[in-house]
Chains A and B, each alone.
Chain A
């Protein structure tokens, strides 16, 4: 029923830091997320891309040092494509994603609390529909828990370097076009 206490404490501390970051980044707000999808406000992309660039370097360094392992999901085409379409659709309707909706609840937003209730129901639907979903999931190819370097037989550092460079260039361009965030109506 429960993980060991140390893990629970570490999870809580990690979550508190994550919650503060999401709240200060203003990404726990409907207007900011929809502003991103409508390509007006680039706060979400700026913070996510920076997180990826910084994260990928450290995580791959930890893996190279043998201090951590890669933990990824299986590349089942049906899972990621059907799931991705449903996820994007639901997100655009709700206006908050799973992590940011929980943070928005912390801000005291009533609509986020109702949405999180919906998320709980959605998770219940998945568990109950698990057997019924299997034929759909098995209908398409599954490439397994594979990374891009493994798939292409190349060094992960080539990808890390390329990804970081790409993000720096993309952010520099975005910063030129959208130097300051518009005064989003919150």
Chain B
């Protein structure tokens, strides 16, 4: 059977694949896998077009580090993730279900999509603000940074893991475990 038609691969196979992919990114462009810098640059470029005075201090600080927000390797990587997941889910038929609200969320907050959308939107804002303050996310810090033995990532990963668990148990409690 074509492996792309399978819905699930072993987490160890997937993990090994991501590990080897990180070798390839260092070997080809000498960069670690990351996601959120692309969001920061896109937001900066958008804001620059709409309200340049707001972005000026940010852009000046970036310029000092020799960095200019642009459509770069990482930006295309994010686009690629979207395409790769689309193709993979199409080929295996693992597409989004009719039900727009995940079961755990629905059990806790009800099955109104509106409520879930508000939660996703606000969670997305807080998460990205945190990622940009810390300069990395699950990919950039928790995988790429940990494997490079970066002090920053070795602090970030446990902090975000404990915070995530605390908030998850605060929201869903022990009872939530029977709904995942």
Contacts and interface: CB of A to CB of B under 8 A. Distances in A.
A66 B134 CA distance: 28
Overall SS of chain A's interface: helix
Interface string A77-96: 10111111111111111110
Interface string B42-56: 111011000000110
A128 B54 contact: yes
Q: Which size bracket describes the interface of B in this complex?
A: 35 or more
Given A18-B84, A73-B141, A119-B128, A88 B167 contact: yes
B166 to A, nearest CB: 8
A148 B120 CA distance: 35
Which of the listed residues B74, B79, B82 has the most CB atoms from chain A within 10 Å of its own CB?
Answer: B82
A7 to B, nearest CB: 5
Contacts of B40: 123, 126-127
Interface residues of A, number: 133
A94 to B, nearest CB: 3
Contacts, number: 531
Most buried by B among A22, A118, A137: A118
**Helix, strand, loop or mixed for chain B's interface?**
helix
Interface of B: 3-4, 6-9, 11-12, 14-33, 35-36, 39-40, 42-44, 46-47, 54-55, 57-58, 61, 70-89, 92, 94-97, 100-105, 113, 116-117, 119-157, 159-169, 171-172, 176-177, 179-180
Given A3-B71, A12-B76, 11 more contacts: A15-B84, A19-B86, A20-B85, A25-B8, A39-B165, A50-B19, A51-B16, A56-B149, A93-B167, A131-B58, A159-B149
Interface of A: 1-3, 7-32, 34-35, 37-41, 43-44, 46-56, 58-59, 62-63, 67-77, 79-95, 97-112, 114-128, 130-131, 133, 137, 143, 145-149, 151, 156, 159-160, 163, 171, 181-182, 184-186
